[in-house]
């Protein structure tokens, strides 16, 4: 990122200090961080107080991925602050924090007619969109790519300004001063940031900011060494003692609570809602009816939920969602549907009319199963609507609420709250709109919480898929031609129409009908050096509105590809590890992951009854290899151990990186063995977490995670584990049982 004086905008900040917006192309924004008494805002990223506390802006949703530690760590290392001085402050939605990489990645969603004009972070249209739309969405693991550069530049500039203030007092050149441990030093002289903050705020920052030679980085070390953490998570103590405030923890004076019932999918309309039986429910205040839902408002949530149970609302719905219809549509699509070629290498699938091997794989709809169900708190007073909500796309949520209440967007204030797990579930904001509407009808602050059942009903699952993979090989099993044909809805396009076009779920489905969608087949092109490859999408229209989920397309494409590769290896009596490595001559990083994980797991070739299964995958510049160990006993099949090795480029925080891989693996186990939904009469057959076959602590295998040392750009590892664990387990189950499972969730057809 090139920084020049023309890209450095300085404006007066309330309470003193400077607002610096890095590389904003001439656009001015109100200072996002408002200094309190005794604080001085140096820019859009940090404030320094008279007591020495450095507050760092957090423009991304904290949902367990550690961004509320990573960005402050980057600032602290560049600034030279003591980690004990660092605090983090959720930043309001502002054009000063445009997520340019994500805007470029999602160009097909917000500009579907000509996405190539804005598919690079540096494109003028990308910048204009991200700044004008105040696009700070959190997704795709692009937080570091978007914000490390601006945060470093801001910290470097502030460090120089502190050095200038100290140099003025000592009558020395500021370039001769150093910053470390929260002090500016020159020889034996030292002054704290606290003592310099006020004077430093009036200095003019240098152009360009004097970045340190090396960015924030930690070397991968053996976790068994138990090295002390240089940068422990800032959110951890409050999460441990229970004081951390999530969206459902908001409490306001005179606040009431709402529970809700949504109708059967896909397009319900509320008919009768007899409230007479609920009238005597203790604590009940009122019943609010929407076009497609009914809510009860009470002095506590349980009273509201009990009142709803007595109302028995009736909904009208034509052609409700049925799992049988979904499977029929996918089967018809994968067999006979119109094919759209998404990508190809070499001659594509030429000559594949008679493949050596062709196999069918299927994936059921999967639910996010977040521990914290959808919740939002709304207060409407004096013409202003205040909203407390965890949102991955806060500006879109704010805009949707303003539209629903026919208000000016400037009259809707959104307070960003952290999420108790999200997995892309908080990219949707139906609950925020509902909370605002209920608050308007009741005239009091309202906290709406969806029950687990409503999360199942109205939350949008990851799309189901039917796929056929085919290959032509020579006598040794070497692959000459490969093709992946995936039948599924244009799910990413649907999401884009909802998020950016503000379409209803059913209108989004209709607009995406028959559309080729490259985002839903990402990861289907193998990383291997195969001369001829092709990936096809067969768009299938389903009555089910689908959404994004952690791992997204990689959550099923890795399962297809790595299961298929394993089957090819076994059919040709090729050892699974060497078979893969032999095809990775152009991807040495992934080959190194495979070789290292094989040593870590003492790979035995995955021989029959060994219970070991291998899989690897690449997502953009991050790659991972996993070996799963499974066994079959009296209690059934059990995954006993997972070993993983990842290359995620430069590691900013090793502990958080390991947490992300471990969390992704466990989430992936849930998707591999459960988390599926079936529908009857427009409603899911399951209403509780207990019915999803998610792993509990006693089921979790022993997990070992290691990393390759790399100086490549950092890559967020949160989705790598999700993608690769299902095929590793499937291949391990084959080794342990001799049975091949080609459907997610695994074991869904029994053992």
CATH of the domain at 572: 3.30.365.10
How far apart CA 291 and CA 496 sit, in angstroms, is: 24
Q: For residue 509, is it within any domain? A: yes
Q: Which of 458, 474, 500 is the last residue of a domain?
A: 458
Q: Which of 424, 458, 492 is the last residue of a domain?
A: 458
> Which pLDDT band, with edges at 50, 70 and 90, does 285 fall under?
very high
Residue 72: the pLDDT is 98
Residues 409 and 519 in one domain: no
Residues 451 and 467 in one domain: no
Q: How many CB atoms are closer than 10 A to CB 221?
A: 13
How far apart CA 508 and CA 497 sit, in angstroms, is: 5
Query: What are the structure tokens assigned to 594, written together?
Result: 């495979």
Q: What is the pLDDT of residues 638-672, one digit of tens each?
A: 899 999 999 999 999 999 999 999 999 999 999 99
pLDDT value at 25 more than 80 = no
pLDDT value at 680 more than 80 = yes
Q: What is the pLDDT of residues 566-623, one digit of tens each?
A: 999 999 999 999 999 999 999 999 999 999 999 999 999 988 788 999 999 999 999 9
The alpha carbon torsion through 341, 346, 349, 354 (nearest 10 deg) reads 180
Residues 256 and 342 in one domain: no
Torsions phi, psi for 525 (to 5 deg): -80, 115
Q: For residue 654, is it within any domain? A: yes
**DSSP sequence for 449-460:** E--HHHHHHHSP
Its pTM stands at: 0.94
> Which pLDDT band, with edges at 50, 70 and 90, does 5 fall under?
very low
**Mean pLDDT over all residues of the chain?**
93
Q: What is the pLDDT of residues 321-366, one digit of tens each?
A: 999 999 999 999 999 999 999 999 999 999 999 999 999 999 999 9
H/E segment holding residue 54: strand 54-58
Is the model more confident about 34 or about 536? Answer: 536
Q: What is the pLDDT of residues 496-515, one digit of tens each?
A: 999 999 999 999 999 999 99
Q: Which of 458, 480, 510 is the last residue of a domain?
A: 458
Query: Which of these, 370, 461, 374, lies nearest to 417 by C-alpha position?
Result: 374
Residues 360 and 412 in one domain: no
Q: For residue 54, is it within any domain? A: yes
How far apart CA 676 and CA 672 sit, in angstroms, is: 9
Q: For residue 224, is it within any domain? A: no
Q: For residue 227, is it within any domain? A: no
Q: Is 590 helix (H, G, I), strand (E, B) or coil?
A: helix
pLDDT value at 20 more than 50 = no
How far apart CA 624 and CA 618 sit, in angstroms, is: 7
Residues 309 and 355 in one domain: no
Q: Domain total for the chain?
A: 3
Q: For residue 323, is it within any domain? A: no
Q: For residue 238, is it within any domain? A: no
User: Which residue range forms the structural domain that includes residue 671?
Assistant: 337-366+462-744
Residues 610 and 722 in one domain: yes
Residues 611 and 554 in one domain: yes
Residues 345 and 290 in one domain: no
Residues 480 and 414 in one domain: no
Q: Is 618 helix (H, G, I), strand (E, B) or coil?
A: strand
Q: For residue 412, is it within any domain? A: yes
Residues 14 and 151 in one domain: yes
DSSP 322: -
Residues 12 and 61 in one domain: yes
User: CB-side exposure of 541: number of CA atoms within 13 Å?
Assistant: 13
Least confident of 11-25, 323-337, 692-706: 11-25
Residues 192 and 277 in one domain: no
Residue 225: the pLDDT is 66
Residue 606: the pLDDT is 84
> Which pLDDT band, with edges at 50, 70 and 90, does 118 fall under?
very high
pLDDT value at 222 more than 70 = no
């Amino acid at each position: 990122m090139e920084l020049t004086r023309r890209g450095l905008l300085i404006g007066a900040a309330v309470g003193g200090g400077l607002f610096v917006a890095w590389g904003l192309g001439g656009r001015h924004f109100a200072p996002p961080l408002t200094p309190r008494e005794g604080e001085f805002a140096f820019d859009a990223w940090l404030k320094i107080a008279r007591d020495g506390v450095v507050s760092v802006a957090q423009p991304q949703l904290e949902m367990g991925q550690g961004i509320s530690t990573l960005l402050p760590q980057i600032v602290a290392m560049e600034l030279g602050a003591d980690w004990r001085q660092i605090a983090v402050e959720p930043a309001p939605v502002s054009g000063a924090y445009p997520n340019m990489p994500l805007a470029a990645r999602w160009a097909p969603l917000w500009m579907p007619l000509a996405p190539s004009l804005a598919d690079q972070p540096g494109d003028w249209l990308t910048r204009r969109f991200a700044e004008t739309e105040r696009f700070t969405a959190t997704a795709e693991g692009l937080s570091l790519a978007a914000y490390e550069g601006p945060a470093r530049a801001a910290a470097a500039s502030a460090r120089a300004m502190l050095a200038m203030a100290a140099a003025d007092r000592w009558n020395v050149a500021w370039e001769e001063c150093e910053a470390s441990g929260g002090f500016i030093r020159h020889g034996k002289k030292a002054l704290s940031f606290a003592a310099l903050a006020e004077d430093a705020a009036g200095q003019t920052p240098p152009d360009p900011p004097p970045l340190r030679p090396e960015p924030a980085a930690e070397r991968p070390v053996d976790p068994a060494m138990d090295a002390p953490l240089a940068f422990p998570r800032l959110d951890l103590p409050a999460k441990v003692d229970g004081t951390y405030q999530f969206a459902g923890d908001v409490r306001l004076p005179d606040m009431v609570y709402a529970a809700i019932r949504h109708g059967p999918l896909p397009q319900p309309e509320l008919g009768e809602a007899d409230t007479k039986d609920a009238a005597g429910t203790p604590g009940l205040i009122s019943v609010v009816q929407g076009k497609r839902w009914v809510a009860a408002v009470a002095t506590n949530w349980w009273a509201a939920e009990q009142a709803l149970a007595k109302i028995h609302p009736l909904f009208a719905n034509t052609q409700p969602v049925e799992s049988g219809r979904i499977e029929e549509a996918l089967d018809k699509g994968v067999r006979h549907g119109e094919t759209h070629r998404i990508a190809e290498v070499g001659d594509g699938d030429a000559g594949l009319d008679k493949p050596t091997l062709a196999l069918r794989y299927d994936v059921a709809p999967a639910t996010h199963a977040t521990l914290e169900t959808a919740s939002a708190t709304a207060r409407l007073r004096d013409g202003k609507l205040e909203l407390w909500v965890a949102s991955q796309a806060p500006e879109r949520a704010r805009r949707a609420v303003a539209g629903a209440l026919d208000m000016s967007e400037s009259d809707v204030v959104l307070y960003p709250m952290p999420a108790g797990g999200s997995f892309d579930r908080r990219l949707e904001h139906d609950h925020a709109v509902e909370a605002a509407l209920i608050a308007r009808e009741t005239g009091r602050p309202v906290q709406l919480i969806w029950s687990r059942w409503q999360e199942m009903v109205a939350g949008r699952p990851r799309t189901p898929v039917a796929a056929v993979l085919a290959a032509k090989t020579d006598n040794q099993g070497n692959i000459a031609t490969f093709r992946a044909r995936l039948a599924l809805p244009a799910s990413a396009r649907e999401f884009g129409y909802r998020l950016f076009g503000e379409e209803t779920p059913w209108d989004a489905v209709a607009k995406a009908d028959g559309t080729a969608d490259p985002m839903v087949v990402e990861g289907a092109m193998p990383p291997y050096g195969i001369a001829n490859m092709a990936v096809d999408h067969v768009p299938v229209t389903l009555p089910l509105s689908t959404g994004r989920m952690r791992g997204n397309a990689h959550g099923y494409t890795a399962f297809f590809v790595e299961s298929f590769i394993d089957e090819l290896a076994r059919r040709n009596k090729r050892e699974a590890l060497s078979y893969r490595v032999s095809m990775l001559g152009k991807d040495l990083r992934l080959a190194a992951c495979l070789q290292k994980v094989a040593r870590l797991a003492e790979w035995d070739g995955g021989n029959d009854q060994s219970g070991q299964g291998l899989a690897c995958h690449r997502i953009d510049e991050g790659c991972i290899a996993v070996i799963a160990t499974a066994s079959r006993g009296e209690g059934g099949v059990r995954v006993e151990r997972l070993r993983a090795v990842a290359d995620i480029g430069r590691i900013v925080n090793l502990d958080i990186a390991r947490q992300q891989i471990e969390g992704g693996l466990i989430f992936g186990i849930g998707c591999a063995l459960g988390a599926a939904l079936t529908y009857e009469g427009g409603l899911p057959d399951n209403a509780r977490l207990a019915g999803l076959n998610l792993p509990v602590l006693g089921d979790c295998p022993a997990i070992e995670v290691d990393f390759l040392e790399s100086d490549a750009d950092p890559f967020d590892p949160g989705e790598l584990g999700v993608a690769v664990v299902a095929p590793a387990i499937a291949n391990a189950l084959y080794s342990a049982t001799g049975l091949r499972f080609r459907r997610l969730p695994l074991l869904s057809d029994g053992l």
